[in-house]
Structure 1
């Protein structure tokens, strides 16, 4: 007969330094930092365009349009951490829902 000993369970998803599941970064601080950084980039571009001589409303529109690709390139590491935090929150919600339904094989 085969031995009924179970193999150790490995966590699903990212593994933390202790070997258990990795803790996602906190969502709110990363969301606030990312939003503030995007606003700072747009404000800086608008100010730069304004100083270069383009008046108010056109400077605002060009600054907003240029702010999107600049923020996309400059804030990639911050955006990756924010995405990780959102995904971690989603996994945690699934775990809580499974526990509330009484499922034994909740997502780990």
Structure 2
């Protein structure tokens, strides 16, 4: 399936991908520093972005929300200042019985 490409009002290039009947994904193309966007398409659009004009796509993109980032850059440290170390597992061969915790 082909994905629809278009330019927004600022001249940045986007690609529309239909992820489901209730969600479209706008992915930035080369040279567009914006993050991917998700949007609920209008009911009259169905699941075919090729039926819409560029102006309609621009309006839909204006209502889109940025996708949640999975990489938030957190260090994994506890917000409570605690240092978490996983409990050391005992050997299944019971050769570490002298190292009782």
Larger radius of gyration: 2
TM-score by length of 1: 0.20
TM-score, normalization: structure 2? 0.21
